[in-house]
Structure 1
Amino acid sequence: MRIALFQMTSGIDPAANAAAIERAIGEAKAGGAAMLFTPEMSGLIDKDRERAAPHYHGQGEDPVLARVRAAAKAAGLWVHVGSLAVRADDGRLANRAFVIDDAGEIRATYDKIHLFDVDLPTGESWRESASYAPGSRAVVVEETPVGRLGLTICYDLRFPALFAALAEAGAEVIAVPAAFTVSTGEAHWHLLLRARAVEAELFVVAAAQGGRHEDGRATYGHSLVAGPWGELLLDLGDAHGTVGFVDLDLERIAEVRSRLPALKHRREFDPVRPMAVAGPATAP
């Protein structure tokens, strides 16, 4: 099964970002892919909240989503939109992924569970929870071109329990769309993606933002695909606006799991309890 990954440098104009995704859909279809994967925040990256505010819409009114659905239908191509910022029912934002089928229908959505609230050694400070509501539901999408597809977004990568739950629910491929910072990407991106693939014994597909964005931030790039043995099947490096292709052999999953059945070896265990430290022996 051939898939395509689109490495974007999303900017502050949703219309321009939508046009870039439309071009990637055409390129993915021409290259023989059955499904295209785009990064986190495909529709807009803008840390200026006042400037960005007019571009936030409910799911049903989001213009980027509407254009991607129309383009997917016209091309007859499945599209995993890594995420868009959409207005949730409570008025807050959701960092939401979409799986769109080849008829332009939304098959599934997923709201990012783990929010990026960190202070990095570089001086960067991010508070995703200041604007976004966390999701609470793990999602596996049945009957996609890549089999059963588990959904995560970016910072979720650092929480292996989510990947284990998706694997145990039958996922064969897990998507990790991202907008990793340069410093965390250089330190952990390849390491964590390969580790999650090895632990869950499946394919990890990670379409990423990469380059210098209009709002001034920089993202790491290196959209990649890792196989169930941890093998690196694709790495787009620091390319900008690039569509990359890879062929997935889902039978590889059964081969790896039969050779090293770690998923079957998982066992329940009692919660960790602090142990009392024995003091020095006293004389009778």
Structure 2
Amino acid sequence: MSMARKALIAVCQLSSTDDKDHNLRECRELVRQGAARGARMVFLPEAFDHISPSTEVMLRLAESLEGELVGSYRQLARESGVWLSLGGFHEQGPDWDRERRIYNTHLLLNDSGEIAGLYRKTHLFDVDIQGQVSLKESSSTIPGPRIEPPVTTPIGKIGLAICYDLRFPEISLALASAGAEILTFPSAFTLTTGMAHWEPLLRSRAIESQCYVVAAAQTGRHNDRRWSFGHTMVVDPWGCVLAQCGQGPGLCCAEIDLDYLRQVRRQMPLAQHRRHDLYGTVCIRHPPGSAPSHPPLPDAPL
């Protein structure tokens, strides 16, 4: 597989519902549009498969990796000749017949329709902002067990994450340290959190990791209980917004330039300046004669 120094990507924005066939048709059309524009890779948001009005419906619509849904997208990747980032689908968990819980799973498919990477969401969105938003993802979702290594693709090395992971810089820095050049945050941000934090978080993750950040998003009304913020976005390693969508379904395109990424990292070598010998432990000093209010912290592993 050859890796281009510059490559076009297409990033999609959806308004998924609980009609899986309709969602698939919408995604298929956007993927074909991206391929027609010359994109090497097309990114779909979290819950591209469906957003359901209740936990019961969501569980009923969940599938396995060997199910019809993934099979349809594997065929779409082959037919379109592009790589696909399937940004978070409702995967039946282990012991499905006994315990009805899912993983929120991000898949990468290559242009032959093979699974090239897989990540199960590790940070689950359990948030209750009084009068604005209340969701408890952990009630039906199993947290993923690990951060996965970056995946080598024709556009660069991709680090996989999903939505709420965006709020934890540790995962971005870990992926960048492992060689990632592009970070993905396929999302379904709520209106409240999106208006407040979406763009600042994406730009911050790009700046501190010196990676491209690609964030496909859900938008608009999904049902009577769920609305999403939209504003699909691509940010470069300097923190500049290269492309974004507004409201409504659609896509935007941007160029990934790995030579530019190298230039940013060379001119401001954050990776070499990081003090890994210090992080994880804070030395708390007390005035002479005073006693600490808590026992000293144990030494943290480097």
Normalised by the shorter chain, which TM-score bucket? over 0.9
Task: Choose from 270, 286, 298 the match for 1:276.
Answer: 286
Q: What residue is the counterpart of 1:86 in the other structure?
A: 91
Task: Choose from 175, 179, 182 the match for 2:184.
Answer: 175
CA distance in 2, matches of 1:106, 1:186: 34
Instruction: List per-residue Cα deviations over 1:25-47 (Å, max 9, x = no partner).
Output: 11111111010000001101014
CA distance in 1, matches of 2:224, 2:82: 31
Q: What residue is the counterpart of 2:258 in the other structure?
A: 250
Task: Supply the RMSD in Å over aligned alpha carbons.
Answer: 1.5
CA distance in 2, matches of 1:122, 1:146: 42
Shift of 1:103: 0.6
Instruction: List per-residue Cα deviations over 1:8-40 (Å, max 9, x = no partner).
Output: 000011111111111111111111101000000
CA distance in 1, matches of 2:224, 2:63: 20
Matched, 1:262 2:267: no
Matched, 1:9 2:18: no
Output the amino acid matched with 1:195: S
SS of match in other structure, 2:149 = strand
Residues 103 and 120 in structure 2, CA contact (< 8 A), matched pair in contact too: yes
Shift of 1:131: 0.5
Matches within 5 A, 1:101-116: 101-116=110-125
CA distance in 2, matches of 1:88, 1:16: 25
Matches within 5 A, 1:133-172: 133-172=142-181
Matched, 1:201 2:207: no
CA distance in 2, matches of 1:173, 1:14: 29
SS of match in other structure, 1:233 = strand
The 1:43–1:31 alpha-carbon spacing in structure 2 relative to 1, beyond 3 Å, is: same
CA distance in 2, matches of 1:128, 1:277: 44
Q: What residue is the counterpart of 1:39 in the other structure?
A: 45
Instruction: List per-residue Cα deviations over 1:200-249 (Å, max 9, x = no partner).
Output: 001000000011113531100000011111011011121x2202111111
The size of the alignment, in residue pairs, is: 278
Task: Choose from 107, 113, 121 the match for 1:98.
Answer: 107
Shift of 1:122: 3.6
* Structure 1 unaligned blocks of 5 or more: none
CA distance in 1, matches of 2:270, 2:58: 45
Matched, 1:127 2:163: no
Matched, 1:23 2:32: no
Instruction: List per-residue Cα deviations over 1:107-155 (Å, max 9, x = no partner).
Output: 1110001000011144321100000000122123433122110001000
TM-score, normalisation: structure 1: 0.94
CA distance in 1, matches of 2:131, 2:231: 20
Task: Choose from 224, 230, 246 the match for 1:237.
Answer: 246
Identity %: 38
CA distance in 1, matches of 2:132, 2:30: 34
Shift of 1:279: 5.7
SS of match in other structure, 1:164 = helix
Further displaced range: 44-53 or 129-138: 44-53
Shift of 1:258: 1.0
Q: What residue is the counterpart of 1:118 in the other structure?
A: 127
CA distance in 1, matches of 2:158, 2:75: 22
CA distance in 1, matches of 2:174, 2:113: 28
* Structure 2 unaligned blocks of 5 or more: 1-6, 291-302
Shift of 1:278: 4.4
Q: Which runs of 4+ in 1 moved over 4 A?
A: 277-280
CA distance in 1, matches of 2:224, 2:283: 47
